Structure 1
């Protein structure tokens, strides 16, 4: 069964740390100036971090934790710790949990946001030993994909950068074009990405190629498709591979 989306991320902990700082400022325990002096940073830098104008480094985060006399455990709710420990005990070291994203990957849908997780799904660790950043996402109607593989409901994507740079004719890729997402095979020719198979699609608005002169390849090629098939939450497995 899929898991609830309560798994912790660094972004969540950073957000909670900043919220704790703002709470201390609002109740008068510190001012921006006194807190900046207390942890050894400039007041303009502190102001920009609190306003969201700038991110912050791990050193800055550690200084804030020390200045507030906090630890990371103070930013984690008891029920979240219990959830993590329960899942580790239940699934063990042979399983990894991957995020299931909100939205759909397809020509008629906005490209899903990597951070918008609706649940976590357990996968056998040994089957995906070589893949790092995996996500599971629903696939919308797409004539090219249907022509090649029939009805596809979900895709497992690898966001690892080496997979997205060294393009292979054996693999399919999730590309972002015009705000939407397409699953296509690709070939790189000089400063151009050739989108294979587009010429066979009548009435489809997808590109036949994308010029890369001023656009980083990783901005277009968002992921490599590791697997595609029926919804694994219903079929209890990944039954078709790309």
Structure 2
């Protein structure tokens, strides 16, 4: 299975979907994107996930993020599954496309297969992965969840905010950061540069080591 690491350019895969044929680069355009995989349709945890992320569509749209589901079944199966998804999460409406990948070829290219989990004929099963892709078509962040644990879309939204803030302002976000809180100036920015980049000012944290490597600011 080909590797796909942070910073790598994702392959321009294409496939049929619940919204017609999709070429990945054309679909993403100049936006950010989230691609999330599922082992199969009509599975319980995945059913809750597709509905829950649909509840966040408005928040992702505000941030210029497109959603794209991916499951190891045909388009007709995806369409038959959607009423269950929407019934399981009342009030949700699945308006994002779901790609068909019955042979798991796309998941292999996107490094979304679990080499340790195989079906009855020995084919690797899809993992429950989630990739965040930048407008430059590069992989910015990836989550990998086991089958027993549903994804936390509050965290997905939080890391999108962090990634976009870092891309715009050349900052890092500390542990448990939330939008509106202070951010960290990276060590690659010296104090003179920092004064120009962050005219609002910054605070250098006093540490027992005496080293001045944590500088906080707001953007």
Larger proportion of helix:
1
- Under TM normalisation by the shorter chain, which class is it? under 0.3
Question: Normalised by the size of structure 2, how large is the TM-score?
Answer: 0.25
Question: Normalised by the size of structure 1, how large is the TM-score?
Answer: 0.24
Say which one has the larger Rg: 1
